[in-house]
């Protein structure tokens, strides 16, 4: 039996601002539904990913930022960083470690992201 991670939930303060941010960096807006009053569910998927993020109104306990860090994996860290910068995201310089190369950024609510490139793959 496979166990797959499909969705990671993020706390946000402004659903439309978050949706705009993630759309700008290339995530696909899969769902934006309000099944009941007081609930809005937005699900977005990074290009090529099997796992999505979800945020909205009435779906995540607690406020931002998420206490953890989410990671995206890419095949070219420099292209990924350039893409983020061109989308208006404040992204770190490339952090080259022996085990991988990384770029770090936060969304408008302070949710932390790592972008990882593993040169040995």
pLDDT per position as a tens digit, 90-100: 999 999 999 99
- Give the start-end residues of each E strand in the chain: 7-9, 28-33, 40-45, 52-57, 69-73, 95-97, 100-106, 112-117
For residue 3, name the pLDDT band (cuts at 50, 70, 90): confident
- Using an 8 Å Cβ cutoff, are 77 and 103 in contact? yes
CA 91 to mean position of chain CA atoms: 13
Tokens of 53: 């993020």
pLDDT of 57 reads 94
CA distance 41 to 89: 24
Q: What is the pLDDT of residues 64-74, one digit of tens each?
A: 888 888 999 99
Model confidence, pTM: 0.86
Q: What is the pLDDT of residues 101-116, one digit of tens each?
A: 999 999 999 999 999 9
Tokens of 35: 């099944």
CA distance 111 to 17: 13
């Amino acid at each position: 039996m496979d166990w797959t991670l499909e969705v990671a939930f993020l706390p946000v303060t402004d659903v439309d601002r978050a949706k705009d941010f993630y759309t700008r960096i290339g995530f696909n807006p899969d769902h934006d539904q309000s099944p009941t009053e007081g609930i809005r569910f937005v699900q977005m998927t990074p290009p090529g990913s099997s796992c999505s993020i979800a945020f909205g109104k009435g779906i995540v306990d607690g406020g931002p930022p998420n206490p953890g860090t989410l990671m995206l994996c890419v095949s070219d860290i420099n292209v990924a960083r350039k893409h983020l910068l061109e989308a208006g995201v404040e992204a770190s310089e490339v952090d080259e470690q022996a085990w991988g190369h990384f770029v770090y950024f936060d969304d408008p609510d302070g949710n932390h992201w790592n972008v990882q490139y593993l040169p040995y793959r």
